[in-house]
Structure 1
Amino acid sequence: MTQEYAASRPYLPDPATAPELFDGLLTRRVIAYFIDLAVMGALVLALTIVGAILGVLTFGLAFASLVFVIPAAIVLYYAATLGSPRRATVGMQMMDIVLTPTRGQPLDGWMAILHALVFWLTFWICWPISLLFALFTPRRQMIHDLVVGTLMVRRSPMIRHWQNARSSAFY
């Protein structure tokens, strides 16, 4: 089944032929998640402090805006990082991993937001199943990766992999 799936999508890297793209990927994803939680926590804390100061200055009117500002900041964090040309959040960049689309469509801000929303939904419902699911897929994809059509790979080996794939396509 894995070979049939790989043959139907030849442009996707295969763990059998490019294992360096998937080496330690799940561990890197977990560490990147905790780094991103810390970054988003700092962002939420900063917005809460600003909102509290503005709340006092506006006699409580600005407190109501925090209900909208904090979720919007988190969504914008994912759109600005995953939707950027780097295709990685701060934690993912630190762990040398990148998000790659698998369905031939570009990875833009909307797809990054959709990826993050489906991730948080599946993670909220049952995070152990989400993590265990990645152990049994050949490309270490989680449920939200399969639903949205994305693939997480290591960045530095991926650059070499795509350069080799492009150069062999011209011969």
Structure 2
Amino acid sequence: MNENRIHAALPDPATAPELFEGLLTRRVMAYVIDFFIILAIAMGLGVVGLILGVLTFGLGWLLLPVVLPLAILGYYVVTLGSPRRSTVGMSMMDLVLTPTSGAPLDGWQALAHPIIFWITIWISWPLSLLIALLTPRRQMIHDLLTGTLMLRLSPMERHWRTLGEPA
């Protein structure tokens, strides 16, 4: 598919500002909500790991450094890879993750998006937010690298209906 045609099909902040209204604030709030969900998952796994560690004379504790990151990644893959294309926090903030390639969101994007998100946030979250302020569609570094776009869901559904395409 032609690159210009793909970007022409993407929502434009100039013609559909409601899709981008308060986007960065909503993303930060969604991150906070998801952080507490992940914290609850980590605490639950920590309790299970503590019990297994005691029962196995410490061998169960060796699994925690492997199981914990996989559980967190699993949360993102299951939620972003679902038909809703959003985590719990993103859903609560009326956000959806949309691929920019014109193809549906695939499993690799749902896997790569959170990994690259955590790497870029760990390296420099201010730079990632600055880039979002400078890009017209408010894309952060991990969005640009994975070929995704974050939009508000309810206006997006109306936007696609006006174009006569499925959301």
Q: What TM-score comes out, normalization by structure 2 length?
A: 0.93
1:95 and 1:25 mapped to 2: Cα distance? 9
Q: Where does 1:19-168 land on structure 2 (aligned, <5 Å)? A: 19-166=17-164
What's the CA shift string for 1:31-80, capped at 9, x where partnerless? 10111110000000000101111111111111111111000001100100
Distance 1:6 1:33, change over 3 A: farther
State the Cα distance separating 1:105 from its structure 2 match.
2.8
CA contact under 8 A between 1:75 and 1:113: conserved in structure 2? Answer: yes
Aligned residues: 163
* TM-score normalized with structure 1 length: 0.91
| Paired residues of 1:78 and 1:89 also in contact (CA < 8 A) | yes
Structure 1 moving runs of 4+ over 6 Å: none
- SS in structure 2 at match of 1:87: coil
RMSD: 1.5
Q: Which runs of 5+ in 1 are unaligned?
A: none
> CA distance change for structure 1 residues 128 and 107 in 2, over 3 Å: closer, same or farther?
same
For residue 157 of structure 1, give the secondary structure of its aligned residue in structure 2. helix
What is the alpha-carbon distance in structure 1 between the residues aligned to residue 26 and residue 77 of structure 2?
A: 21
> Could you say what secondary structure the match of 2:14 adopts?
coil
- Measured after TM superposition, the shift of residue 108 of structure 1 is 2.6
